[in-house]
């Protein structure tokens, strides 16, 4: 089976749907935000608005803990929604591709909850008892992780001014910190931005991927590449020494270059499935060697056909 024939390696160019091709979680998050935005007037008309936007009274006094998440899928206006979704689209796709869909979803949801919790805690401490909504805190976490991987990659600020990612993050965080200190009662939830940025930094710095703490990953035995041992030649009773392989040329169990085609193909399936679940960053050195060997053999086959 060729690499691009495998189900989890089929991109949008192979007939996949918009939500099942590349970066499906990023697209799904955007779609959910847009749908919720158009449902917000219904929530307001039916008096359900305050059950879903975040407030310190709702969470701490009434126990509406779901607000920590639901508020991040609601927005105050078209431009608020558009700005957040454009940023998520620009950086979220690559982060999802790098970490894998499962880890990216876990990261985004944790960032959403913790950024809202950070805002609620600061709002309560300052005694403001306001309301908050928007995905800015979660998206700030994604932007910070992206900037830590690609600090010198340029992005068009306001779609006009090219600026490197590290500088963009510094500008945003400096602005938010200044506004929090000078205008703590501002309508912009800068405490959520700063909380999301802090979580993004900790996530990248300490590698807090969900797959690293999953019970399945802990209990599942690590697969190893085992090459078939060479068979000894039969010996006779009367003559000749017994043949044995030269220790200097014996094959190590982790050597991928000597694996039969069927074994390498099966192992490649496992590695590619892992990339689809967890992203390329979770591969071990051995799994990277499997990819390299499969790529080398594919190049050789193409050369032979030429």
Determine the pLDDT at residue 184: 78
Name the stretches of the chain with pLDDT < 70.
1-21, 214-259, 262, 277, 301-306
* Tokens representing residue 178 in the block: 């200044």
The enclosing H or E element of 147 equals helix 136-149
Q: What is the pLDDT of residue 3?
A: 45
Whole-prediction pTM value? 0.69
**Pairwise CA distance, residues 271 & 273, whole Å:** 5
Residue 65 has a pLDDT of 97
Confidence (pLDDT) at 32 = 98
pLDDT of 201 reads 98
Query: Which pLDDT belongs to residue 81?
Result: 97
**C-beta contacts of 263-267 below 8 A and 24+ residues apart:** 263/225, 264/290, 264/293, 264/294, 264/297, 265/1, 265/294, 267/223, 267/225
- Buried b / exposed e across 145-172, counting CB within 10 Å, b at 16+? bbbbeeeeeebeeeeeeeeebeebbeeb
Any idea which residue has 């690499």 for tokens?
3
Domain architecture of the chain: domains with CATH: 10-213 (1.20.1540.10), 252-306 (no CATH)
């Amino acid at each position: 089976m060729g690499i691009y024939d495998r189900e989890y390696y089929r991109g949008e160019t192979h007939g996949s749907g918009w939500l099942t091709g590349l970066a499906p979680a990023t697209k799904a998050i955007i779609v959910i935000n847009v749908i919720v935005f158009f449902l917000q007037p219904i929530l307001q008309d039916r008096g359900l608005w305050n059950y879903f936007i975040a407030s310190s009274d709702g969470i701490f006094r009434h126990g509406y803990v779901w607000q920590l998440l639901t508020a991040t899928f609601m927005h105050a206006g078209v431009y608020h929604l558009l700005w957040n979704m454009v940023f998520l689209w620009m950086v979220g796709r690559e982060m999802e591709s790098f970490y894998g869909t499962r880890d990216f979803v876990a990261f985004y949801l944790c960032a959403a909850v913790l950024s809202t919790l950070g805002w609620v805690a600061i709002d309560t401490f300052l005694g403001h008892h306001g309301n908050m909504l928007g995905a800015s805190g979660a998206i700030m976490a994604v932007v910070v992780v992206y900037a830590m991987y690609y600090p010198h990659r340029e992005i068009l600020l306001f779609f006009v001014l090219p600026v490197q990612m590290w500088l963009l993050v510094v500008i945003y965080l400096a602005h938010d910190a200044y506004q929090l200190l000078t205008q703590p009662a501002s309508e912009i939830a800068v405490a959520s931005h700063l909380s999301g940025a802090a979580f993004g930094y900790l996530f990248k710095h300490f590698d807090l991927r969900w797959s690293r703490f999953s019970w399945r990953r802990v209990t599942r035995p690590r697969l190893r590449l085992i090459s078939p041992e060479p068979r000894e030649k039969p010996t006779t009773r009367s003559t000749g020494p017994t043949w044995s392989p030269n220790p200097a040329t014996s094959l190590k169990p982790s050597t991928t270059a000597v694996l039969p085609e069927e074994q390498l193909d099966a192992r490649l399936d496992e590695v590619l499935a892992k990339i689809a679940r967890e992203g390329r960053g979770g591969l071990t050195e051995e799994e990277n060697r499997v990819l390299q060997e499969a790529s080398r053999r594919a190049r050789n086959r193409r050369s032979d056909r030429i």
